Amino acid sequence: MGRERERENCLTGDPHSNRCAGGVWALAHPKVSRSSVQEAGGRFRIWDIHSHLGSVPGDTPEKRLEVLVRCIDRLGIELLLLSQGYSAQMHPTPDQFREENDRVLRAVGAFPDRAYGSVYLSPAYLDFSLQKFDRCVRDWSMVAIGETEANRRANDIGLSTLNEKSRTQPLALEAR
């Protein structure tokens, strides 16, 4: 019964389940219900919950997301969660975090009905990351922590602090 209940929660998008995309999106978007996840004919809507702009062609974040939107249209994907801009830096500086978050905000702003953004943080720059969390999640429209640059143990105080901060907003926490 327990495993069957978990499967049901996952498929219905129950906000108390974070075992699959439906559960993650239910946490990120409290208005999600079974009827909004499943179409009338029983077919489930598809959301890509972790995308990047890095290898996508285009001169601006908006142009790159435009290419991604054309791709997801062809694949029948309704929404995507954009995580990080272009950079693949292993240990970015605070300025690089700011730039990546700004790229995501610009891209998502151009396609607000097709994409959500997730904030890029680092426990190595805890005070800076807490400020960026407030700016990107509380003050703007980001719905998740999508990337955490962390070469750290799971019990690191910085990661714990970011996790606690994430509980102050209705969002999905995506550990990376």
How far is it, in rounded angstroms, from Cα 102 to Cα 13? 30
Q: What is the pTM for the complete model shown?
A: 0.71
pLDDT at 91: 81
The list of the chain residues with pLDDT below 50 reads: 1-32, 34, 173-176
Contacts of 119 (CB under 8 A, 6+ apart): 101, 104, 132, 133, 136, 137, 142, 144, 145, 146
Count H helices and E strands in the chain, helices first.
7, 5
Give one DSSP letter per residue of 46-104, joined into a string.
-EEEEE-STTS--SSHHHHHHHHHHHHHHHT--EEEEE--S---SS--HHHHHHHHHHH
pLDDT at res. 17 = 36
Integer Cα distance of 26 and 8 in angstroms: 14
Locate tokens 């950079």: which residue? 87
> Which tens digits make up the pLDDT trace of 18-40?
333 333 333 344 444 545 555 66
pLDDT (tens digit, 9 = 90+) per residue, 105-116?
Answer: 999 999 999 999
Give pLDDT, residue 113: 92
Residue ranges of domains in the chain, CATH in brackets: 1-45 (no CATH), 46-173 (3.20.20.140)
Computed over its alpha carbons, how large is the radius of gyration of the chain?
16
How far apart are alpha carbons 64 and 60 in whole angstroms?
6
